[in-house]
Structure 1
Amino acid sequence: MLQPILHQLNSKNIVLASSSPRRKQILGNINLKFDTAKSNFEENLDKGSFSSPIEYVRETAKQKTLEVVERLFPSESLPDLLIGADTIVTKEDNIFEKPSSKDHAIEMITSLSGSSHKVLTAVVLVTPKSSDVFRGRVSLDDRLDITQFEEVSEVFMPDLPADIIKSYVETGEAMDKAGGYGIQAIGGSLISGIHGDYFNVMGFPLHRFCVELRNICKL
């Protein structure tokens, strides 16, 4: 979807505010040129203070992105586009992020086994406002245009025997994945089907991103 404007985009300064190798791979696969900057935001927001998992992932994604803006671009020298995101797994409004240990990963996958769950990704696109506002000291809100959106995919996991769950976790793949599994690799063998965007389950909703970016570019 971005091919007609890719040459324009690749002449811009684009930064992915994430250290996720999956997000880097997804965007790299469409030949988008960008730099990466890891967010240092501690993902410790009080889940109980949010009315829904979507509200939680939306705020986490925003704070992760703004941390990069404030730390690396404290003055007017913003990139042309900064991309941030956060992904969580939810089931019955319970939020599953990255497991803290192998036992935690086993517990997560066991909870998801034999039913469906949802993968939510919130994406934040930050662009600078007109340079006309950069006269004197201005607030962060006065410097930025922020576009946010969310994508939801439903994932189906069959009943998994305990030995299969344990052996999967022992591969080490589960430890940096929301929900404790990665659909793009060994964890794909644990999944019987999905409804929605496959790339969203990986961690970045590619099609929706392209649509939103074209809207920002007014193309």
Structure 2
Amino acid sequence: MNIKNLLMEYDVILASASPRRKELMQLICPSFRVIPADCGEAVPEALSARDVPGYLSYQKCECISQVYQKAVVIGCDTVVTTADGEILGKPKDEEDAKRMLRLLSGRVHTVDTGVSVSHNGHIETFTETTKVWFKELTDEEIDDYVATGEPMDKAGAYGIQGEGTLLVEKIEGDFFNVVGLPVSKLAAKLHEMLD
């Protein structure tokens, strides 16, 4: 059965406030509810950068699935990690956004999206990784991009699906993962768990 038809049989909840994830989720599921998880984002210090998004997606998924036990709940978290291993979240302000973009300029970084799916009290988690190469950015390019306001609500201070695409030289992996939802892998996981 195709994934859209399969999911029509379920109450599906996306535990994320991201408008980008909501848009991408519509490619898989024509009808779902958005209930953002408000469960904090504290991370154990011993956790490696690569394990953070899976951990956070699990927390979000579990938080919502405890309330909506009969639903299929999808929790997500995306983390941008520099070549030096620094995790870049959403910028605090414009200066922070500029700092992040200077760190990414002319270098490769990774974007890891953790996705957790809950069904019948069982949660499965996976993490998708994409490598992104930024071109060398001038201070003027950074200032102009930050002035658009686009970086302010995005991990790593850029949106690859918007004007941020002009900063990117190439990617290796799933484009939609960088936007915030590895659509194909999530569809396969849902098929595996529900079919």
Structures share a fold, TM > 0.5? Answer: yes
1:49 is aligned, of 37, 46, 49, to: 46
Q: Between Structure 1 and Structure 2, how many residues are aligned?
A: 194
Map of 1:1-219 to 2, 5 A cutoff?
Answer: 4-46=2-44, 48-50=45-47, 52-70=48-66, 73=67, 78-91=69-82, 92-128=84-120, 144-218=121-195
Separation in 2, partners of 1:69, 1:83: 9
- Contact 1:15–1:79, Cα closer than 8 Å, also in 2: no
CA contact (8 A) 1:83 1:123 kept: yes
Which deviates further from its counterpart, 7-16 or 178-187?
7-16
Between the aligned partners of 2:148 and 2:38, the Cα distance in structure 1 is 27
Q: Which amino acid aligns with 1:188?
A: T
- Cα deviation 1:52-79 (Å, max 9, x = unaligned): 2122221111112222234xx1xxx524
Of 29-38 and 209-218, deviating more is 29-38
Report the residue type matching 1:27 in the other structure: M
Bigger Rg over Cα: 1
Q: CA RMSD in A?
A: 1.5
For residue 4 of structure 1, report the CA deviation from its aligned partner.
2.0
Q: Tell me the amino acid that sits aligned with residue 160 of structure 2.
A: I
Partner of 1:140 in structure 2?
none
Report the TM-score when normalising by structure 1.
0.84
Matched residues in 1 for 2:105 and 2:148: separation? Answer: 18
Q: Residue 38 of structure 2: SS of its match in structure 1?
A: coil
Counterpart code for 1:202: V
CA spacing shift, 1:67–1:164, aligned 2, 3 Å: same
Return the alpha-carbon distance in structure 2 between the equivalents of residues 117 and 58 of structure 1: 18
CA distance in 1 between partners of 2:27 and 2:165 (Å): 20
Instruction: Indicate conservation of the 8 Å contact 1:61/1:123, yes or no.
Output: yes
TM-fit CA distance, 1:210? 1.1
Over 3 Å counting, the alpha-carbon distance change for 1:155 and 1:101 in structure 2 is same
Point out where structure 1 has 5 or more consecutive residues left out of the alignment: 129-143
Name the amino acid aligned to 2:100: M
Identity of aligned residues (%): 34
Q: Deviations over 1:187-218 (max 9, x none)?
A: 11111111000000000001111111111123
TM-score for both structures, normalised by structure 2: 0.94
Supply the distance in 1 between the matched residues of 2:54 and 2:186 (Cα, whole angstroms). 15
CA deviation map 1:1-32 (0-9, x unaligned):
xx724223113100000011011000113453
Q: Which runs of 5+ in 2 are unaligned?
A: none
Kept after mapping to 2: 8 A contact 1:153/1:195: yes
For the residues of structure 1 that align with 2:164 and 2:103, how far apart are their CA atoms? 15
